Amino acid sequence: MYVLELGGEDDAFAAAEAAVAARDVAVIAPGVALARGLDADRFRSLAFGRRAGELLARCEATSEAAGAAVRSATVDRDGPVAVRARDVRGTADVDTQAIERVVGSVLVDRGFTVDLETPDHVLLVLCAGDECVLAWQLVESERGYGDRLPTDRPFFQPGSMDPLLARSVVNLARVEPGDVVLDPMCGTGGLLIEAGLVGGRPVGFDAQRKMTAGTRENLGKYLDGRWDVGMADATRLPLADGAADAIVLDAPYGRQSKIATHGLGDLVAGALAEARRVAPRGVLVADRSWHVAAESAGWSVERVFQRRVHRSLDRYVHVLS
């Protein structure tokens, strides 16, 4: 059994993303989930996964209970260890330093040495709500999203998706290394950047020449691999049936788009139908639910997540297959 520490505030969303790297993910407390299988390499690519480890014990969220759990557990490690305790999202109201001292003392009594700088093993103690889980850390996700902020790219337009959400969208689309990932309305290329960074081959189109030029600049800064960007109408793509492995699409927002509101529905419906022709799975992000339009275009809508951006904007993330 494996323990996952989840980021963000929406555990259902984070668990759905984590499911690309773990099997049978089940949230047991705020920001904490258990899973029956783990792909450590894939976990590193998660946006809303923080750490994962092999479960050692579960107990109440107190230092005494954590110490007792370690004292009675079967420990199959050797070499120096470090204890890292976390009050996940501040929901447990525990003294993490006291937990580290108690658990560390138990480990020393069991013959371990403690090395806080270069340990061979890290014992995570994750406290959330009334739950406490102890796990030998196996992997941390790779961060660095702050280095790819939309405002820091060579080409920027207001309303660009932040890289953290873009990465989660790519993961929800189940992009694997080598997959052709299509964005038929690529805008400034944020989704394609993240697709390329997880090993996909990005292919983008946009109806505006300045967007395709800007996307090429942005992809050139962040990606070394193969990618293709061109001008096209998202409802009439110059691609053969089944040419892509996955689609990622951030639809125009009604109040921000230059497209008249009465024409937005036709555009999104047409883009969804065309995307269905060229790819078997994907994710649509929009400022409203397009559930009915997606099903009419031939997609099965697996999940729709509603995520608050600010008071006047929610994003709806549709997982399609």
Residue ranges of domains in the chain, CATH in brackets: 2-140 (3.30.2130.30), 145-320 (3.40.50.150)
Q: What is the dihedral of CA 157, 198, 285, 3, to 10 degrees?
A: -130
Per-residue pLDDT tens digits for 70-90: 999 998 888 999 999 999 999
Q: Residue with structure tokens 């950047």?
A: 193
Distances (CA, A) of 226 to 42, 223, 278: 21, 8, 19
Q: Are 65 and 49 in contact (CB under 8 A)?
A: no
* Of 98-102, 253-257, 312-316, 317-321, the least confident: 253-257
Distances (CA, A) of 312 to 8, 233, 254, 288, 308: 20, 29, 12, 12, 9
Q: Which of 178, 175, 183, 170 is nearest to 275 (CA)?
A: 183
Residue 265 predicted with pLDDT over 90: no
pTM score of the predicted model: 0.92
Residue 102 predicted with pLDDT over 90: yes
Q: Are 93 and 132 in contact (CB under 8 A)?
A: no
**Cα–Cα distance, 211 to 221 (Å, whole number):** 15
Residue 31 predicted with pLDDT over 50: yes
Residue 263 predicted with pLDDT over 90: no
Residue 201 predicted with pLDDT over 80: yes
pLDDT higher for 144 or 194?
194
Average pLDDT of the chain is 94
Residue 261 predicted with pLDDT over 50: no
pLDDT at 262: 45
